[in-house]
Amino acid sequence: MSGNGEMMPDRKNSDRRSYILTLSCPNRPGIVAAISQTLFELGGDIAGAQQFDERESRIFFMRVVFSVPADGIVRGGLDVALAEIAARFGMKWSLRESPRPTRTVIMVSRFDHCLVDLLYRWRIGELAIEPVAIIANHPRQTYAHIDLDGIAFHYLPVTAATSGEQEARIADIVRETEAELVVLARYMQILSDGMSEWLAGRCINIHHSFLPGFKGARPYHQAFARGVKLIGATAHFVTPDLDEGPIIEQDVERITHADSPDDLIRKGRDIERRVLARAVRYFTECRVIPNGHKTIVFNP
Protein backbone atom coordinates (compact mmCIF):
# COMPACT_ATOMS: atom_id res chain seq x y z
CA MET A 1 0.00 0.00 0.00
CA SER A 2 1.30 3.47 -0.82
CA GLY A 3 1.23 6.44 1.53
CA ASN A 4 -2.07 7.63 0.06
CA GLY A 5 -3.89 4.39 0.72
CA GLU A 6 -3.65 2.99 -2.81
CA MET A 7 -2.87 -0.68 -3.05
CA MET A 8 0.15 -0.51 -5.32
CA PRO A 9 1.07 -3.53 -7.44
CA ASP A 10 3.89 -5.82 -6.41
CA ARG A 11 6.67 -5.26 -8.91
CA LYS A 12 7.72 -8.88 -8.49
CA ASN A 13 4.25 -10.13 -9.38
CA SER A 14 4.23 -10.94 -13.09
CA ASP A 15 0.63 -12.22 -12.98
CA ARG A 16 -0.86 -8.75 -13.52
CA ARG A 17 -0.09 -5.59 -15.46
CA SER A 18 -0.81 -2.26 -13.81
CA TYR A 19 -2.03 0.99 -15.35
CA ILE A 20 -3.10 4.50 -14.42
CA LEU A 21 -6.06 6.00 -16.28
CA THR A 22 -6.78 9.74 -16.16
CA LEU A 23 -9.73 11.40 -17.83
CA SER A 24 -11.85 14.53 -18.05
CA CYS A 25 -15.22 15.11 -19.70
CA PRO A 26 -18.49 17.00 -19.30
CA ASN A 27 -20.16 15.71 -16.17
CA ARG A 28 -23.21 13.51 -16.48
CA PRO A 29 -24.57 10.39 -14.75
CA GLY A 30 -23.01 7.04 -15.50
CA ILE A 31 -19.32 7.90 -16.01
CA VAL A 32 -17.97 6.04 -12.97
CA ALA A 33 -20.28 3.11 -13.59
CA ALA A 34 -19.15 2.83 -17.22
CA ILE A 35 -15.47 2.86 -16.29
CA SER A 36 -15.94 0.37 -13.45
CA GLN A 37 -18.07 -2.00 -15.51
CA THR A 38 -15.68 -1.97 -18.47
CA LEU A 39 -12.67 -2.68 -16.29
CA PHE A 40 -14.58 -5.45 -14.50
CA GLU A 41 -15.44 -7.10 -17.81
CA LEU A 42 -11.78 -6.98 -18.81
CA GLY A 43 -10.70 -8.69 -15.59
CA GLY A 44 -9.53 -5.43 -14.09
CA ASP A 45 -8.96 -4.87 -10.38
CA ILE A 46 -9.27 -1.23 -9.27
CA ALA A 47 -6.65 -0.44 -6.64
CA GLY A 48 -7.53 3.23 -6.17
CA ALA A 49 -9.77 5.90 -7.64
CA GLN A 50 -10.04 9.66 -7.17
CA GLN A 51 -12.56 11.95 -8.80
CA PHE A 52 -13.60 15.58 -8.82
CA ASP A 53 -16.59 17.42 -10.27
CA GLU A 54 -15.80 21.08 -10.96
CA ARG A 55 -19.18 22.68 -10.53
CA GLU A 56 -18.33 25.95 -12.30
CA SER A 57 -17.41 24.29 -15.61
CA ARG A 58 -19.36 21.06 -15.01
CA ILE A 59 -16.27 19.10 -15.99
CA PHE A 60 -15.62 15.74 -14.36
CA PHE A 61 -12.07 14.56 -13.63
CA MET A 62 -10.95 11.10 -12.58
CA ARG A 63 -7.79 9.08 -11.88
CA VAL A 64 -7.99 5.29 -11.67
CA VAL A 65 -5.22 2.87 -10.70
CA PHE A 66 -6.00 -0.68 -11.84
CA SER A 67 -4.46 -3.94 -12.97
CA VAL A 68 -5.42 -6.67 -15.43
CA PRO A 69 -4.23 -10.27 -15.73
CA ALA A 70 -0.94 -10.51 -17.59
CA ASP A 71 -2.33 -13.31 -19.72
CA GLY A 72 -5.55 -11.41 -20.40
CA ILE A 73 -6.30 -8.38 -22.51
CA VAL A 74 -3.34 -6.66 -24.18
CA ARG A 75 -2.69 -2.92 -24.20
CA GLY A 76 -4.28 -2.47 -27.63
CA GLY A 77 -7.50 -4.06 -26.38
CA LEU A 78 -7.55 -1.73 -23.39
CA ASP A 79 -7.14 1.25 -25.69
CA VAL A 80 -10.05 0.12 -27.85
CA ALA A 81 -12.35 -0.49 -24.90
CA LEU A 82 -11.53 2.85 -23.28
CA ALA A 83 -11.83 4.69 -26.59
CA GLU A 84 -15.41 3.44 -26.87
CA ILE A 85 -16.26 4.92 -23.47
CA ALA A 86 -14.43 8.12 -24.35
CA ALA A 87 -16.48 8.52 -27.51
CA ARG A 88 -19.71 8.00 -25.56
CA PHE A 89 -18.91 10.62 -22.92
CA GLY A 90 -16.71 13.03 -24.89
CA MET A 91 -13.67 12.24 -22.78
CA LYS A 92 -10.08 13.37 -22.96
CA TRP A 93 -8.13 10.46 -21.53
CA SER A 94 -4.68 9.02 -21.02
CA LEU A 95 -3.51 5.53 -20.06
CA ARG A 96 -0.05 4.87 -18.66
CA GLU A 97 1.56 1.63 -17.65
CA SER A 98 2.70 1.69 -14.02
CA PRO A 99 5.26 1.72 -12.44
CA ARG A 100 7.27 2.49 -15.59
CA PRO A 101 9.64 5.43 -14.87
CA THR A 102 9.16 8.69 -16.76
CA ARG A 103 11.92 9.47 -19.24
CA THR A 104 13.08 12.93 -18.14
CA VAL A 105 15.35 15.68 -19.48
CA ILE A 106 16.61 18.06 -16.78
CA MET A 107 17.72 21.56 -17.76
CA VAL A 108 19.86 23.66 -15.43
CA SER A 109 21.85 26.89 -15.20
CA ARG A 110 24.38 27.92 -12.57
CA PHE A 111 22.24 27.24 -9.48
CA ASP A 112 22.31 23.46 -9.13
CA HIS A 113 20.41 22.78 -5.89
CA CYS A 114 17.27 21.53 -7.65
CA LEU A 115 19.29 19.33 -10.01
CA VAL A 116 21.17 17.74 -7.11
CA ASP A 117 17.92 17.15 -5.21
CA LEU A 118 16.16 15.51 -8.16
CA LEU A 119 19.11 13.20 -8.81
CA TYR A 120 19.27 12.24 -5.13
CA ARG A 121 15.55 11.45 -4.97
CA TRP A 122 15.90 9.42 -8.18
CA ARG A 123 18.82 7.41 -6.82
CA ILE A 124 17.01 6.45 -3.61
CA GLY A 125 13.88 5.48 -5.55
CA GLU A 126 11.71 8.33 -4.32
CA LEU A 127 11.08 9.69 -7.82
CA ALA A 128 10.01 7.37 -10.62
CA ILE A 129 12.02 9.17 -13.28
CA GLU A 130 14.66 7.99 -15.71
CA PRO A 131 17.03 10.92 -16.34
CA VAL A 132 17.93 10.54 -20.02
CA ALA A 133 19.81 13.84 -20.45
CA ILE A 134 20.99 16.92 -18.61
CA ILE A 135 21.10 20.14 -20.61
CA ALA A 136 23.00 23.15 -19.26
CA ASN A 137 23.99 26.57 -20.54
CA HIS A 138 27.16 26.33 -18.44
CA PRO A 139 30.08 23.94 -19.12
CA ARG A 140 30.44 20.56 -17.44
CA GLN A 141 33.13 21.78 -15.02
CA THR A 142 30.52 24.03 -13.40
CA TYR A 143 28.98 20.83 -12.03
CA ALA A 144 32.23 18.92 -11.42
CA HIS A 145 31.20 18.27 -7.81
CA ILE A 146 28.04 16.43 -8.91
CA ASP A 147 27.99 12.71 -9.70
CA LEU A 148 25.87 12.55 -12.85
CA ASP A 149 25.99 8.75 -12.76
CA GLY A 150 26.58 8.35 -16.49
CA ILE A 151 23.67 10.58 -17.54
CA ALA A 152 24.37 12.23 -20.89
CA PHE A 153 25.42 15.86 -20.37
CA HIS A 154 24.88 18.48 -23.06
CA TYR A 155 26.52 21.89 -22.81
CA LEU A 156 24.39 24.21 -24.93
CA PRO A 157 25.44 27.84 -24.43
CA VAL A 158 22.96 30.41 -25.64
CA THR A 159 23.00 34.02 -26.77
CA ALA A 160 20.38 36.17 -28.41
CA ALA A 161 21.95 35.34 -31.77
CA THR A 162 22.10 31.57 -31.18
CA SER A 163 18.87 30.95 -29.26
CA GLY A 164 17.07 29.46 -32.27
CA GLU A 165 19.90 27.03 -32.99
CA GLN A 166 20.19 26.12 -29.33
CA GLU A 167 16.48 25.38 -29.00
CA ALA A 168 16.58 23.25 -32.15
CA ARG A 169 19.27 21.14 -30.47
CA ILE A 170 17.17 20.91 -27.30
CA ALA A 171 14.26 19.65 -29.39
CA ASP A 172 16.53 17.08 -31.05
CA ILE A 173 17.65 15.78 -27.65
CA VAL A 174 14.06 15.52 -26.40
CA ARG A 175 13.07 13.56 -29.52
CA GLU A 176 16.18 11.37 -29.60
CA THR A 177 15.81 10.38 -25.93
CA GLU A 178 12.04 9.94 -26.26
CA ALA A 179 11.68 12.14 -23.20
CA GLU A 180 8.21 12.39 -21.69
CA LEU A 181 9.03 15.23 -19.30
CA VAL A 182 11.33 18.26 -19.37
CA VAL A 183 12.19 19.84 -16.01
CA LEU A 184 13.58 23.37 -15.79
CA ALA A 185 15.54 22.92 -12.58
CA ARG A 186 16.39 26.61 -12.17
CA TYR A 187 17.19 26.93 -15.87
CA MET A 188 17.50 30.69 -16.08
CA GLN A 189 16.69 31.14 -19.76
CA ILE A 190 13.35 32.00 -21.32
CA LEU A 191 12.06 29.47 -23.82
CA SER A 192 10.60 30.82 -27.05
CA ASP A 193 6.86 30.74 -27.63
CA GLY A 194 7.33 28.01 -30.20
CA MET A 195 9.34 25.82 -27.84
CA SER A 196 6.89 26.44 -25.00
CA GLU A 197 3.98 25.40 -27.18
CA TRP A 198 5.82 22.30 -28.42
CA LEU A 199 6.48 21.23 -24.81
CA ALA A 200 2.96 22.09 -23.62
CA GLY A 201 1.84 19.88 -20.76
CA ARG A 202 5.22 18.15 -20.40
CA CYS A 203 7.58 20.90 -19.23
CA ILE A 204 7.69 21.92 -15.55
CA ASN A 205 9.39 25.06 -14.25
CA ILE A 206 10.25 26.02 -10.68
CA HIS A 207 9.75 29.71 -9.95
CA HIS A 208 11.47 31.36 -6.99
CA SER A 209 8.32 33.10 -5.78
CA PHE A 210 4.88 32.27 -4.50
CA LEU A 211 3.19 33.42 -7.70
CA PRO A 212 1.96 35.97 -8.29
CA GLY A 213 4.81 37.74 -6.58
CA PHE A 214 7.95 39.78 -7.00
CA LYS A 215 9.18 39.57 -10.57
CA GLY A 216 12.46 40.48 -12.19
CA ALA A 217 15.93 40.52 -10.70
CA ARG A 218 16.80 39.88 -7.03
CA PRO A 219 13.32 38.71 -5.94
CA TYR A 220 14.43 37.86 -2.41
CA HIS A 221 15.95 41.30 -1.99
CA GLN A 222 12.66 42.84 -3.19
CA ALA A 223 10.81 40.71 -0.67
CA PHE A 224 13.25 41.75 2.06
CA ALA A 225 12.80 45.42 1.21
CA ARG A 226 9.03 45.02 1.52
CA GLY A 227 9.27 43.25 4.87
CA VAL A 228 7.36 40.17 3.78
CA LYS A 229 6.51 37.52 6.34
CA LEU A 230 6.23 34.61 3.91
CA ILE A 231 8.39 33.49 1.02
CA GLY A 232 7.54 30.69 -1.33
CA ALA A 233 8.07 28.83 -4.57
CA THR A 234 5.80 27.73 -7.41
CA ALA A 235 6.06 24.79 -9.80
CA HIS A 236 4.04 25.26 -12.97
CA PHE A 237 3.72 24.10 -16.55
CA VAL A 238 5.63 26.22 -19.03
CA THR A 239 3.53 28.24 -21.49
CA PRO A 240 4.28 31.14 -23.85
CA ASP A 241 2.95 33.46 -21.12
CA LEU A 242 6.05 33.88 -18.94
CA ASP A 243 5.51 32.55 -15.39
CA GLU A 244 1.76 32.37 -16.00
CA GLY A 245 1.44 28.64 -16.73
CA PRO A 246 -0.96 26.35 -14.86
CA ILE A 247 0.25 25.89 -11.29
CA ILE A 248 0.99 22.35 -10.10
CA GLU A 249 2.39 22.89 -6.60
CA GLN A 250 3.30 25.71 -4.21
CA ASP A 251 4.69 26.08 -0.73
CA VAL A 252 5.67 28.88 1.65
CA GLU A 253 7.85 29.42 4.70
CA ARG A 254 7.45 32.02 7.40
CA ILE A 255 10.27 34.50 7.98
CA THR A 256 10.82 37.35 10.41
CA HIS A 257 12.41 40.78 10.58
CA ALA A 258 15.61 39.08 11.78
CA ASP A 259 16.13 37.23 8.48
CA SER A 260 18.68 38.75 6.12
CA PRO A 261 18.50 38.50 2.30
CA ASP A 262 20.97 35.59 2.57
CA ASP A 263 18.62 33.86 4.99
CA LEU A 264 15.78 34.32 2.53
CA ILE A 265 17.86 32.85 -0.29
CA ARG A 266 18.83 29.86 1.85
CA LYS A 267 15.27 29.19 2.92
CA GLY A 268 14.02 29.84 -0.61
CA ARG A 269 16.29 27.16 -2.03
CA ASP A 270 14.86 24.63 0.41
CA ILE A 271 11.32 25.51 -0.69
CA GLU A 272 12.26 25.32 -4.38
CA ARG A 273 13.72 21.85 -3.95
CA ARG A 274 10.72 20.34 -2.22
CA VAL A 275 8.10 22.06 -4.40
CA LEU A 276 9.77 20.95 -7.64
CA ALA A 277 10.22 17.40 -6.37
CA ARG A 278 6.55 17.16 -5.45
CA ALA A 279 5.46 18.54 -8.81
CA VAL A 280 7.65 16.04 -10.66
CA ARG A 281 6.32 13.19 -8.54
CA TYR A 282 2.72 14.23 -9.16
CA PHE A 283 3.45 14.28 -12.90
CA THR A 284 5.11 10.86 -12.94
CA GLU A 285 2.21 9.38 -10.95
CA CYS A 286 -0.33 10.88 -13.38
CA ARG A 287 -1.88 13.01 -10.66
CA VAL A 288 -1.99 16.21 -12.73
CA ILE A 289 -4.79 16.85 -15.22
CA PRO A 290 -4.78 20.15 -17.18
CA ASN A 291 -7.87 22.29 -16.74
CA GLY A 292 -7.49 25.39 -18.89
CA HIS A 293 -5.33 27.90 -17.02
CA LYS A 294 -5.40 25.66 -13.95
CA THR A 295 -4.68 22.07 -13.03
CA ILE A 296 -6.50 19.39 -11.14
CA VAL A 297 -3.98 17.67 -8.84
CA PHE A 298 -5.03 14.47 -7.13
CA ASN A 299 -2.66 14.68 -4.16
CA PRO A 300 -1.52 11.55 -2.34
Q: Name the band, by pLDDT with cuts 50, 70 and 90, for residue 13.
A: low
Reported in sequence order, the residue ranges of the chain that DSSP labels E, i.e. its strands, are 16-26, 45-54, 59-69, 92-98, 102-108, 129-136, 153-155, 181-184, 203-207, 230-237, 247-254, 288-291, 294-297
CA distances from 184 to 6, 21, 81, 127, 280 (A): 30, 26, 36, 16, 11
Is pLDDT of 176 > 70?
Answer: yes
Is pLDDT of 1 > 50?
Answer: no
Are residues 293 and 253 in contact, defined by beta-carbon separation less than 8 angstroms?
A: no
- Residue 11 confidence (pLDDT): 44
CA distances from 212 to 177, 217, 248 (A): 34, 15, 14
Quick one: which of 138, 274, 275, 279 has its CA closest to 203?
Answer: 279
- Given the residues 53, 79, 172, 243, select the one marked as catalytic: 243
- Residue 231 confidence (pLDDT): 85
Average pLDDT taken over every residue of the chain: 91
Least confident of 6-10, 15-19, 163-167, 273-277: 6-10
- Residue 221 confidence (pLDDT): 81
Phi-psi group of 131: left, alpha or beta (phi > 0 → left; psi -120 to 50 → alpha; rest → beta): beta
112 an active-site residue? no
- Residue 212 confidence (pLDDT): 55
Share of the chain above pLDDT 90, in %: 81
In tens, the pLDDT along 196-228 reads 999 999 999 999 876 656 667 787 787 777 666
| Structural domains of the chain, ranges and CATH numbers in brackets | 16-98 (3.30.70.260), 102-297 (3.40.50.170)
